A and B are shown apart, each in its own frame.
Chain A
Amino acid sequence: MAKRSLALQLDEVVQAMLVSLRPRPEKAPDHELASLARVAEVLRDLPREEFRAALKSDLQRRASMSEGTAARTGEAKAKTVHYQRPGLTAITPYIIVRGAAQFIEFLKSSFEGVERMSVPTPDGKIMHAEVAIGNAAIEVSDGSEAYPNAPAAIHLYVDDPDATYARTLQAGAISFYAPTDDHPSGDRWGAVKDAFGNHWYIAKPKGWTPGPEGLRSVQPYLHLREAHKMIPFMEAAFEAEAMGVHKSPEGIVHHATIRIGDATLEIDEAHGEFQPMPCHLHVYVPDTDAVYARAMEAGATSIEAPRNAPYGDRAAGVKDPWGNSWFIATYLGQ
């Protein structure tokens, strides 16, 4: 029998199998075709490669959670919220950089970051990584054409801002200013820019004690034009709560802290060296579809409509009027 006709015959069998969902292909006329059909029948159940990889990284994350988190999170440990992915708070900065592997080394050496998981791309870049810092985390990915670099400004609460500041400089960051007690926040506070373009505001509370919920180690800090409009946007989209708003008499926001779920971020009016840096934020909410709809109503544009992501989240994406990307997620977990 000619090759070509075998190819056609096999495809007829495959086609019938895929379309009809018959448990078995019809009896094939000859032995040759029958044995090929048996192989094809098994291929119908071939697992998706993406699923295999996603489940693996999910398990890695779960495994690293069960290891040493109790010691790390201490009293600020958030109570488990069913719609949040274990190990992540309600707001996690998602930093896209060229050279993600070196960036992760920077997080380790400067901030005692712990790499909790890392999913490589076939060409050895980092598709997705998660680095725990204190009681929260930062997500990291290598830039690509689809996802250009997006550094962020992040406020870290640490035990020893002076030592942390010194480590960042050793690791290649440049200083905006060394930790000082004269920062308007009242905290001891220093600021650096790392080699990847991210800003780090390194601080320790001074003269106040965090509440029972503890201190959030990682808070994204958004410098915005017309920052005052962000507060109603976040209230409308995320049912966020503005916790402390310092405005000038003209209504310019000098500083505001805004809470979503168990996490907070900060905003101020862009000024001087601290200009807007549209970034990516990964936000866990109880109902992705509702938040997506409200965000769109509040003026966001869609990046991605809600869908069930293969790693087990209900996920969606929007861009706010300032150009920040919000990846909205609900952990479907178990």
Chain B
Amino acid sequence: MATRRPVRRGSAKGADVSVRLGTGRNDERWLVKAAQSDPAKFDALYELHFERVYAFVASRVRDRATAEDVTSEVFHKALANLQGYEWRGVPFVAWLLRIAANAIVDHAKRAAREFPAPDDPPEPAADLDLQASELRAIEHRAQLFRLVGRLPEVQKQVVYERFVEQRSIREIAERLGKTEGAVKQLQLRAVQNLRAQMESGRG
């Protein structure tokens, strides 16, 4: 399957991004080995891949609660079955996403038992074969999630309040002690900042 990402060319920025996202493949191989012999080291793999797994899951399930349930299940399963992962040129993230795809199907089946919806059968995950374009989309979304953490504090706050808590502009203005116009400006700044960083990161 087409999971191998092209090695980033050129700029120092590109190299930095690739290490941060765990695409420095040799480093990652070492991290997996470390975690296999000492489960406490699974932390590092979690840090590298949380955003990717979450991005993948969130794009395929209906709501936040399900996305969290499934993501949690994926990492617990990965930790429990870490010994079963063998390095054969398949990136660790592909292994995680396969677990995720199966967990999503399981979840849909469980939900279907409770709320049957015969016209909406879950598709089998056995033949999960992610297109390169979908993998790029996951990378893109994961990177954006990470960049939110590096926004100036008040912009970050607006993003979380607006998109995660889904509060109205008025509520956010009250909570932050700002005018509604100022909150809308902050929202714009934050989104513009993220767009700019995504574009430069693509370098």
Contact = CB atoms under 8 A, between A and B. Distances in A.
A14 B187 contact: yes
Contact of B145 (A47, A59, A66, A312): A47
B152 interface: no
A52 interface: yes
Given A18-B166, A39-B194, A39-B195, A7 B184 contact: yes
A144 to B, nearest CB: 20
Interface in A35-77: 35-36, 39-40, 42-49, 51-52, 55-56, 58-60, 62-64, 66-67
Decide if the interface of chain B is mainly helix, strand, loop or mixed.
helix
A47 to B, nearest CB: 5
Interface string B55-67: 1001100001001
Contact of A59 (B46, B68, B169, B188): B46
B35 to A, nearest CB: 8
Contacts, number: 118
Interface residues of B, number: 45
A126 to B, nearest CB: 17
B72 interface: yes
A6 interface: yes
A36 B196 CA distance: 10
A18 B42 CA distance: 35
B163 interface: yes
B79 A59 contact: yes
Given A8-B184, A18-B163, A62-B79, A56 B46 contact: yes
Given A39-B195, A46-B148, A67-B39, A55 B67 contact: no
A4 B185 CA distance: 7
Interface residues of A, number: 36
A157 to B, nearest CB: 28
B39 A334 contact: no
Interface in A135-194: none
B72 A42 contact: no
Given A10-B191, A18-B166, A63-B39, A43 B159 contact: yes
A3 interface: yes
23 contacts: A3-B185, A4-B185, A7-B184, A8-B184, A11-B187, A18-B163, A39-B198, A40-B163, A43-B159, A43-B162, A45-B55, A45-B58, A46-B160, A46-B163, A47-B51, A49-B160, A55-B68, A56-B43, A62-B39, A63-B39, A63-B79, A67-B38, A312-B72
Given A45-B59, A56-B50, A59-B76, 20 more contacts: A7-B181, A8-B184, A10-B187, A18-B166, A36-B195, A40-B163, A45-B67, A46-B148, A46-B163, A48-B68, A51-B68, A55-B72, A59-B46, A62-B79, A62-B80, A63-B40, A63-B43, A64-B40, A67-B38, A334-B73
